Amino acid sequence: KPVRVISTASDPQGRQTVIDLLPEHERKLRLVPVGRLDFYSEGLLLLSNSGELIHRLTHPSWHVTKTYQVLISGPVESRHMDPMRKGMTLQEGDRLAPVKVTIGQKTKAGTWLEMELHQGINRQIRRMCRDMDLTILRLIRTRQGPISLGSLVPGRIKRLNEQELIALRSLVGLG
């Protein structure tokens, strides 16, 4: 999913949706997004027409890991990451499970973090970073369960191969 595209099948406000990115023959399959990425986030977004698979991949009880690369403006210190690693409570009162977070490459633009989430509260990464006074410049989902974004560029689609489908279905007890 590119930034500025809505993670839904249709939008009453007429904004571009992830379904609009599909070739016509794929649109006929009645695919829907498996979960969401917010308007300013990009990266891996699975689409499916299997209601049971979608339910299990998005339901918190299955604990499907999602991995993100997050570019933060400026330096990041352990005081920023420790609350995330231990589990924190957001300003709104939502209690979060611990997040695996590691510091990656430091660039002129800022510091890359890799974050692994199991919980998936709405806009969780953006809200955690807000509460830690960290400014997000870019947020990319790179993995969901066994499925990796790889080198797929924003706006492009890829059908999962048989092995990927088996791994994904097996992860949520459908294998």
Query: Which residues are designated catalytic?
Result: 38
Q: What are 175's two structure tokens? A: 């294998």
Nearest to 43 by CA among 142, 110, 137: 142
| Rounded Cα–Cα distance for residues 27 and 35 (Å) | 18
Taking CB atoms within 8 Å and a gap of at least 24, the contacts of 73-80 are: 73/109, 73/110, 73/134, 73/135, 73/136, 73/137, 74/110, 74/111, 74/135, 75/106, 75/111, 76/103, 76/111, 76/113, 76/134, 80/132, 80/133, 80/134
Nearest to 147 by CA among 159, 131, 134, 156: 159
Q: Output DSSP code: residue 160.
A: P
